[in-house]
Structure 1
Amino acid sequence: MTINPRSQTGTNLLQTALAKPYHYRRSGRYYLRLRPQGTTQGFFTLSLRTTDKATAMTISQDILSTLKAYHLDNPEASWDELRERLLDIAEYSLTMAHGDSSLVAYEMINDEHHQALREASAKLPLSVNQQRAVSKALEIIEASQERMKGRSGNLVEIVRGLKDESCGTSVALSPSLSVSSSERLTFKALSALYMEERKESIQASTMRDVRSSCEAIATILDDLDLKAHTREDMKNLRDKLLEDRKPSTVKKLLTRLSTVMDWAVHNGYLDKSFDKGLKPTKGADSSREAFSQDQVKALMAHAEALPVDAWQRWALSLGVIAGTRIEELRQLTKADVKQVGDVWVIDINRNDGKTAKTKNALRVIPLTDGAYGFDLKVFLEFVQRADSRLFALGAGRFSELLNGLIRDVLGVKADRTLTFHSLRHSLAGALKAAEIPVGTAESILGHASGSISYDLYGAGSGVDVGRMAEALVKALR
């Protein structure tokens, strides 16, 4: 990293508010120039250590996102706010894919961040929470360097520790929901406490699933006092659940049980929990299957034969070529179909009261003209004729009719093995078969990678969308 000597705004990037970045190329190699806000003279220059434009733009975006997360300009920041930033960085560092050029670049970048953070800790008037965050950030950087050499253990433990700390954050409860040490504590009462605390941070659709899972568990545990529960009680619960449920369903229910029990221990409602190691392994993989290529082609052939103004035509088509979740699809509006550069996309967002499963689900997905016969021009005409919402049905009816159509076209059973969601599995399989990088596939599917490098903004968004568009063309051909 080089620093223009005329800069008077700070000693390193972590102390400086930055204007819009500038990329340039010298002798075939790409560089990132960062200028402090309010000046036309001082600037920082980082070599991106690559001659490949796409790689340079990705590395550049990562640098900018990391700097934004590390900025130490808010002495009032709570530890929870800083911890969330650190968790994002740690998860991304753990899960990102590297090529030879990016390994070299990131080793250099991490060294510079490490030095800058140590200087900030020594010289800046940081609050206790900020100093704590700097200390943890240094650990993350050191563990990230190890991970790039094939040793990821320390970084895994850091991520786990930051997540566990999140579970232990205590919130005051209303008197009606408090529990005294002498009272019996059933799972029904405990899960009510958990849901009351988490109701502001969990999406409504997810909360419905949480409530349903907890009710199933509470029905079996009945009036068992969890303050005195044993390992045998938990094993009996598992066996009862397995009597009339698939192993994959029981695995999900026991995951929910562990979440609630861990929360209870961290918040002092229970001294211990005996729920670990109960999940069934045989047959516990998801019962959802991917459609075969012949089945996908049959669905698209049926869709293309429907009238151009039939919502079923476009719901099926988008499921096949974009791999959306069914509720993401149902909520699409006319404004969500847009152009990014030269690429038409659908924008999955939380605007106007829409919901999304996770923050990683917020994304844009390129539309691949010609994939399985998909006609982009005709679809855009459908969008123009639509009201604000592309699909007018409510969630239950939309899912019922769309899944019913799939069963009718393919002649499959209503056993939840092959459903609309299976189209996501099919697209994921196509991306894998086409050897698309994991990070790009996760960006398309909205999987929870924790990556901060795919936040789309500024000049980098066109690059990321272009890369996703190319990946889909390759996977769907």
Structure 2
Amino acid sequence: MTINPRSQTGTNLLQTALAKPYHYRRSGRYYLRLRPQGTTTGFFTLSLRTTDKATAMTISQEILSTLKAYHFDNPAATWEELRERLIEIAESCLTMAHGDSSLVAYEMIHDEHHEALREASAKLPLSVNQQRAVGKALEIIEAAQERLKGRPGKLVEIVRDLKGESCGTPVALSPSLSVLPSEPLTFKALSALYMDEHKEYAGAKTVRDTTSDCKTISEILGDLDMKNHTREDMKNLRAKLLEGRTASTVKKILTRLSTVMKWAVNNDYLTKALTEGLKPTKGAESSRKAFSQDQVKALMAYAKALPVDAWQRWALSLGVIAGTRIEELRQLTKADVKQIGDVWVIDINRNDGKTAKTKNALRVIPLTDGAYGFDLKAFLEFVQGADSRLFSLGAGRFSELLNGLIRDVLGVKADRTQTFHSLRHSLAGALKAAEIPVGTAESILGHASGSISYDVYGAGSAVEVGRMADALGKAFSIAK
């Protein structure tokens, strides 16, 4: 649960003295419940994000000391009183020992403290001294996050400055109370922060592509401080990218730039992105071309002539009738071929160590018996006789052989304008020609918005799969 200074009844706990906290455990995890003094309502609950009692109690004490540190219930608090509390918190963040569980927990707790303090600064009628304390507290929290990653330098400097500062020193408040790190923030450093947050959830190919695009951008932007970047910097970046690259490639890279920059703004690393309208439009269409219907029919005619136990027969056939990405196809297992209601499908998932490009790529795709001559019964016999995986080759070899086969059968050039991936474009074109609703087509191709559930145990799953099966049947009947 995200820490929020607003309680369930609207009371602002950051302005109010707190009653004795209450701890409890649910499903093995510890929680802290807080409420204002003098009332039995207005409580709110914080997850301590740990199943270890000692760690939970330590985190709880840290939360309570942080909420009390700023004298939000005492507008008359002097800067000297607030400074002493800030020193205590900073020293605690600097010297506290951590285990693996508390490292993870404190990283999240610091993020939540940061959010709560920023909201307090923006919304509460705080005194000048309190606002000054909030600004310094935000610096402390950001530095504490760095310390959790083994970089204590910022926190050491803050402690030294707070202790060495004259109590009577006047301070001019910054126009912005959202404190950003003082050192330059390059795109290389920014993209590393982005990747660190997203790498756990992204597929291997997405990680590779993102890393490659960000490296290209970083090499051009160099030491530019992204906190001070201008629109002219972004336009110069686009001009450099267009040197020796197609417009479609540049569009892809700039889309990645926009994603990282917007994430940085949303996470308070930057105050602006300046990437809107940057992507080129002229010549930006994909260089990948769909196969014509004659080419698709030629591939399927070739596939049907292959032996029933030949993996090439079914790799080509599934590419045509299901529009899978090549790596989705290569990773299929026997368990991924199943029935939902009366419809046979292939299930694109991340089970057993498999990867997927995005979460929207996780889907089921109906198999259309008879489409371009596809023999469902023969395919199921092939599946039954296969080992755990339907295709045993590694990624590089599988792609090399399958794309080479397509070139041999169709006589297309090895310039990557027509490859196995072009079959996805062909299927997309067939769905469009059949006037299939965009949402249904996206669901089949793995570009879904996430509005449709494909849980095989879901009550409506058979209905949804039936709808996709009907759409594919219509598209293939028109394409004949």
- TM-score after normalising by structure 1: 0.61
| Equivalent pair of 1:78/1:129 in contact (CA under 8 Å) | no
Counterpart of 1:354? 354
Between the aligned partners of 1:179 and 1:206, the Cα distance in structure 2 is 33
Counterpart of 1:307? 307
Counterpart of 2:97? none
* Residues 452/472 of structure 1: CA separation in 2 closer, same or farther (3 Å cut): closer
Cα deviation, 1:418-438, whole Å, max 9, x if unaligned, reads 121111111121122222233
Between the aligned partners of 2:464 and 2:363, the Cα distance in structure 1 is 11
Counterpart of 2:367? 367
Between the aligned partners of 2:153 and 2:252, the Cα distance in structure 1 is 27
* Percent identity for Structure 1 against Structure 2: 78
* Residues 243/466 of structure 1: CA separation in 2 closer, same or farther (3 Å cut): same
Secondary structure, counterpart of 2:388 in structure 1: coil
Shift of 1:450: 2.8
Shift of 1:221: 1.6
Shift of 1:331: 0.7
Greater Cα shift, 305-314 or 455-464:
455-464
Cα deviation, 1:15-71, whole Å, max 9, x if unaligned, reads xxxxxxxxxxxxxxxxxxxxxxxxxxxxxxxxxxxxxxxxxxxxxxxxxxxxxxxxx
Greater Cα shift, 249-258 or 299-308:
299-308
Map 1:311-326 onto structure 2 (within 5 A).
311-326=311-326
Counterpart of 2:402? 402
Letter in 2 for 1:446: G
* Residues 469/414 of structure 1: CA separation in 2 closer, same or farther (3 Å cut): same
* Residues 336/186 of structure 1: CA separation in 2 closer, same or farther (3 Å cut): same
Between the aligned partners of 1:373 and 1:126, the Cα distance in structure 2 is 67
Between the aligned partners of 2:376 and 2:342, the Cα distance in structure 1 is 13
Between the aligned partners of 1:179 and 1:198, the Cα distance in structure 2 is 26
Cα deviation, 1:365-406, whole Å, max 9, x if unaligned, reads 121122111111221121112110001112222222212222
Shift of 1:408: 2.0
* Residues 284/466 of structure 1: CA separation in 2 closer, same or farther (3 Å cut): same
Task: Tell me how large the CA RMSD over aligned residues is.
Answer: 2.9
Letter in 1 for 2:270: L
Where structure 1 has 5 or more consecutive residues not aligned to the other structure, the ranges are: 1-76, 81-124, 131-164
Map 1:28-427 onto structure 2 (within 5 A).
78=2, 172=145, 174-175=148-149, 181-427=181-427
Match status 1:429 vs 2:420: no
Shift of 1:237: 1.0
Between the aligned partners of 1:287 and 1:176, the Cα distance in structure 2 is 45
| Equivalent pair of 1:341/1:462 in contact (CA under 8 Å) | yes
Cα deviation, 1:255-286, whole Å, max 9, x if unaligned, reads 11112222223333334333332110101122
Letter in 1 for 2:217: I
| Equivalent pair of 1:443/1:454 in contact (CA under 8 Å) | no
Between the aligned partners of 2:459 and 2:265, the Cα distance in structure 1 is 46
* Residues 411/257 of structure 1: CA separation in 2 closer, same or farther (3 Å cut): same
* Residues 471/263 of structure 1: CA separation in 2 closer, same or farther (3 Å cut): closer
Letter in 1 for 2:277: G
Letter in 2 for 1:215: K
Counterpart of 1:26? none
| Equivalent pair of 1:177/1:193 in contact (CA under 8 Å) | no
Cα deviation, 1:157-183, whole Å, max 9, x if unaligned, reads xxxxxxxx9xx9x99455457997342
Larger radius of gyration: 2
Between the aligned partners of 1:272 and 1:344, the Cα distance in structure 2 is 49
Counterpart of 1:441? 441
Cα deviation, 1:285-314, whole Å, max 9, x if unaligned, reads 222221110010111111112222221111
Shift of 1:186: 2.1
| Matched positions, count | 320
* Residues 374/129 of structure 1: CA separation in 2 closer, same or farther (3 Å cut): farther
Cα deviation, 1:299-351, whole Å, max 9, x if unaligned, reads 11111122222211111100001111111111100111122232221111221
